[in-house]
A and B are shown apart, each in its own frame.
Chain A
């Protein structure tokens, strides 16, 4: 029954959600949200999240999302209040209010990140074992404020290092049960990635931009294509960035003796995003559920777990409840913290 340590198994993630099935759930939850004047939105959020966790499989078992909608509702009410307060302060007192707001945000920002990571991990489970997050506020302050500030002060020279520190903070403080995730990437990897990104940006901009400008000299009509070329370059760079970044992250993440393998491809991401954008445009946004399913399915198809051991022996950690306020404030301020 036990797999030997010398026979690693490559277990692919498998997303079994269906666009139409999710569409029905999504749209009914939206209608209920509207009919209840937004109150149901907390339940809707849990159902939407849960749909993606429940239909994501690894080794024949699915993930689960266990957040309590009531906590999310309370978090949302507070977050909405904070958001409106901030908008109000920023609009009424752009100068002093803005300054006070920035100072407060500097102190609160790490807490929001920490609370979001904690909330998300604690209410995520696989095989009835929960994830958790053990990062400290000071650690978060250092990783998400101090390092980026140093990066900016050194005119970007330390930014790749800051990027690495943030990622390491998130991964290394995450646990599955009592087992901590490990992050094997080095700062050097992030410097290399940054160089690649800069190189690609310059190449894409000058190659395509130059080509259009050149042809434009003899055949001005091609200038009509310029905005579209701009969109395409942006799409391409966005896809390239995601590919490099996600692959680096996952390929260097480990859990005990197990590791991950991620093989996203830039070309596939470009066509994924392009088709998604078209779908959304043509359906005026109604294809949103389908788009989300397509993204989940693609990422699942390209990421797998390289297991050295059988996955039955992870042990549950202590459980305590946490509030959703930080996560909901973070949501309103549009932070996107992907694992």
Chain B
């Protein structure tokens, strides 16, 4: 006969009574109060009628009875013995064994880490890329509708460049823009505190800041930036970035099963790092596009490198702090120059 000490709780009130569980030779289970001659709570119940809740960590073990009563005990050995004697619990024992084994945990960690790495670095971008190109081009332009108005309110002022300069640049850029009419590229100039920079908005708008135009030594350098921004449009980078963000969220929910955890400040950081890494990949892709197209158009690809160096120098002048590489949304200029010269 097997005897296990624990507490009995009938499920009607929160009172937990010290109780004793006994398993007779025929495998039938009884529970009675420990220190009293009162009648048994449960008598001679067959194994099919009650349920032994699966072990979880070091928490006390629970047996649930029909009607909602429970028997709770810290006696793990006793409950395991009971499972053995009633010939049950192979499935849950297997899970518990997996959960308790250190080699299993290490293997799981390794496999998960590798799978997560592959998924995040290759899977998510590849999926986003194929989805982005399956969607009609109008989708991306729809996302970008209104973006410029918003940006104008927050970051930008009307351009203060001499209209003669912008007219001249438009004439210089026109032959290039007309090669990519399917992207509906549209050129705008804006003044901004953010310094020398250029953006491609999903709607096809390519925005040059006044500072960028001012620091360029010649039109060809600005053309190289134009090619880079067209590269972003050509590869649908903005749509892909937002798709990648959505996929990562779904993935995180499915795997960790915990969104409130993702909400915490601590989990935001990895997400930002991953996004920054995706963004750097896009910059490299746009650089590569610019270099290839410029080569084909008979322009010297080194112009892009010159322009990047000028932009970098302009930021140093204004005393802005260079970020560490893993925090940047753009690759370091040195790496980009290196990559460009390798082409």
Q: A residues within 8 Å of B by Cβ?
A: 16-18, 21-25, 27-31, 33-34, 38, 41, 44-45, 47-48, 50-51, 54-55, 61-62, 64, 80, 83, 87, 91-95, 126-129, 177, 220, 223-224, 226-227, 234-235, 238, 273, 276-277, 280-281, 284-286, 288, 291-292, 311-316, 319, 331-332, 334, 336, 338
Residues of B participating in the A interface, judged by any CB pair closer than 8 Å: 9-16, 56-60, 62, 68-70, 95, 98-102, 104-105, 107-109, 111-113, 115, 135, 139, 142-143, 145-146, 242, 246, 249-250, 253-263, 265-267, 269-270, 319, 321, 323
Distance between B248 CB and nearest chain A CB, rounded to angstroms:
12
Closest to B119 in A: A34
Alpha-carbon gap, A80 to B70, bound state (A):
35
Separation of A128 and B65 alpha carbons in the complex (Å):
12
Complex alpha-carbon distance, A129 and B69, angstroms = 10
A128→B95 CA distance, assembly (Å): 25
22 A-B residue pairings within 8 Å (CB atoms): A24-B104, A24-B105, A27-B105, A28-B104, A31-B108, A31-B111, A34-B115, A48-B257, A64-B62, A80-B250, A83-B250, A91-B242, A127-B9, A127-B14, A128-B14, A129-B14, A234-B265, A273-B265, A284-B270, A288-B261, A312-B15, A338-B260
Separation of A319 and B100 alpha carbons in the complex (Å):
34
Within the complex, which residue of B102, B143, B253 is in contact with A331, where a contact is CB–CB below 8 Å?
B253
- The reply to whether A280 and B99 contact each other, CB–CB distance below 8 Å, is no
- The answer on a CB contact under 8 Å between A55 and B59 is yes
- Besides A177-B14, A227-B321, 14 new A-B residue pairs in contact (Cβ under 8 A), listed by A number: A21-B57, A21-B58, A31-B112, A33-B257, A34-B115, A94-B145, A224-B321, A235-B265, A238-B265, A273-B266, A285-B267, A315-B13, A316-B13, A331-B260
Q: How far is B261's CA from A276's CA once the two chains are assembled, in angstroms?
A: 12
Q: Which 5 A-B pairs give the minimum distances between C-beta atoms?
A: A54-B59, A45-B257, A312-B15, A31-B108, A314-B14
Bound: A280/B273 CA distance, A: 12
* B99/A25 in contact, CB under 8 A: yes
Q: How far, in Å, is B337 (CB) from chain A's closest CB?
A: 24
Whether A22 pairs with B57 at a CB distance below 8 angstroms is yes
Question: Which of B59, B102, B249, B260 is the one whose CB lies under 8 Å from A336?
Answer: B260
Report the Cα distance A78→B142, complex, angstroms.
27
- Given contacts A28-B108, A220-B319, is CB(A94)–CB(B15) below 8 Å? no
A292 touches B57 (CB 8 A): no
Complexed CA–CA distance, A240 and B191 (Å): 39
Complex Cα gap A87–B10 (Å): 48
Pick from A220, A288, A336: contact of B263, CB under 8 Å: A336
Asked if B57 contacts A291 (CB within 8 A), the reply is no
B59 touches A27 (CB 8 A): no
A residues near B95, Cβ cutoff 8 Å: 28
- With A34-B115, A91-B143: A313-B15 Cβ-Cβ less than 8 Å: yes
A34-B255, A95-B145 are contacts. A285–B56 as well, Cβ < 8 Å?
Answer: no
A332→B259 contact, CB < 8 A? yes
> Which chain B residues lie closer than 8 Å to A273 at the CB level?
265-266
Collect the chain B residues with CB atoms within 8 Å of residue A61's CB: 16
Q: Please give, as numbers and ranges, the residues of chain B lying within 8 Å of A34 by CB-CB distance.
A: 111-112, 115, 255
Assess whether A223 is in contact with B321, with CB atoms less than 8 Å apart. yes
Measured CB to CB, the nearest residue on chain B to A94 is: B142
Which applies to chain B's interface (DSSP): helix, strand, loop or mixed?
helix
A71 and B242 CA atoms in complex are apart in Å by: 31
Residues of B close to A48: CB separation below 8 A: 257-258
Docked Cα-Cα span, A25 to B321, in Å, equals 43
Give A276 to B265 CA distance when docked, in angstroms. Answer: 10
- For A83, the chain B residues whose CB sits under 8 A away are 250
Do the beta carbons of A24 and B100 come within 8 Å of each other?
yes
Smallest beta-carbon distance A338→chain B, Å: 8
A94 lies within 8 A of B143 (CB) = yes
- In the complex, what distance in Å separates the CA atom of A16 from the CA atom of B74? 13
B112 touches A126 (CB 8 A): no
Verify B16–A17 contact, CB threshold 8 A: no
B13 touches A41 (CB 8 A): no
A334 with B112: in contact, given A281-B269, A285-B270 (CB under 8 Å)?
no
Complex Cα–Cα for A95 and B115 (A): 38
B57 touches A334 (CB 8 A): no
Measured in the bound complex, the distance between the Cα atoms of B259 and A316 in whole Å is: 31
**Least Cβ distance of B178 to chain A in Å?**
28
* Chain B residue with Cβ nearest A63: B59
A33 CB contacts on chain B under 8 angstroms: 254-255, 257
Q: How far is the CB of B185 from chain A (nearest CB, A)?
A: 21
With a cutoff of 8 Å between Cβ atoms, the chain B residues found around residue A93 in the complex are 142
Q: Is there contact, CB below 8 Å, between A17 and B256?
A: no
Cα distance A95–B261 when bound, in Å?
32
Q: Given the complex of chains A and B, what is the CA–CA distance between A126 and B139 in angstroms?
A: 51
- Please determine whether B60 and A62 come into contact, CB atoms closer than 8 angstroms: yes
CB contacts (< 8 Å) of A285 on chain B: these are 267, 270
A24 near B101 with CB under 8 A, answer yes
Question: By CB atoms of chain B within 10 A, which of A18, A220, A334 has the most?
Answer: A334
Alpha-carbon distance A312/B249, docked complex (angstroms): 44
Interface centre among A177, A277, A286 (most CB of B within 10 A): A277
Q: Are A128 and B68 in contact (CB under 8 A)?
A: yes
Partner of B56, one of A23, A47, A95, A291: A47
**Known pairs A238-B265, A332-B259, A336-B263; A30 contacts B13 (CB<8 A):** no
Report if A312-B57 is in contact (Cβ < 8 Å); known contacts: A27-B108, A223-B321, A292-B261: no
Q: Which residues of A contact B68 (CB under 8 A)?
A: 128, 316, 319
B256 touches A55 (CB 8 A): no
Give the contacting residue for B254; candidates A38, A91, A95; CB below 8 A: A38
**Residue of A30, A33, A315, A338 with most chain B CB atoms under a 10 A cut-off:** A30
Q: Which of A25, A31, A95, A276 gathers the greatest number of chain B CB atoms within 10 Å?
A: A31
Contact A28 B99 (CB under 8 A): yes
Please tell me if the beta carbons of A334 and B16 are within 8 angstroms of each other in the complex.
Answer: no
